[in-house]
């Protein structure tokens, strides 16, 4: 299954699920990455970490490891 860490620049997808076993699961949910929400990869840093996503009209940057727990369609 693809995760948000696998997105290409400008790609829009819908979140299918959040890996509840990941240590940052609660934080990811609290900042707006919830199942059913559309996200778009807006920017990557020089070494592809962190990644910046558009979520609910807000730009949010998270670590690539955290993005790997966001399962997408």
Q: What is the predicted pLDDT for the residue at 48?
A: 87
Give the C-alpha distances (Å, rounded to integers) separating 51 from 14, 47, 69, 70: 17, 10, 13, 13
The total number of residues written for the chain in this structure: 73
Mean pLDDT calculated for residue range 25-50? 94
Output the pTM of the full model. 0.89
Mean pLDDT over all residues of the chain? Answer: 94
C-alpha–C-alpha distance, residues 13 and 70, integer Å: 11
């Amino acid at each position: 299954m693809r995760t948000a860490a696998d997105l290409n620049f400008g790609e829009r997808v819908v979140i299918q699920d959040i890996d509840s076993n990941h240590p940052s699961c609660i934080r990811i949910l609290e900042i707006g990455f919830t199942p059913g929400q559309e996200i778009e990869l807006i920017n990557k840093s020089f070494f592809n970490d962190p990644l910046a996503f558009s979520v609910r009209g807000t730009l949010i940057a998270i670590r690539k490891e955290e993005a790997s727990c966001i399962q997408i369609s």
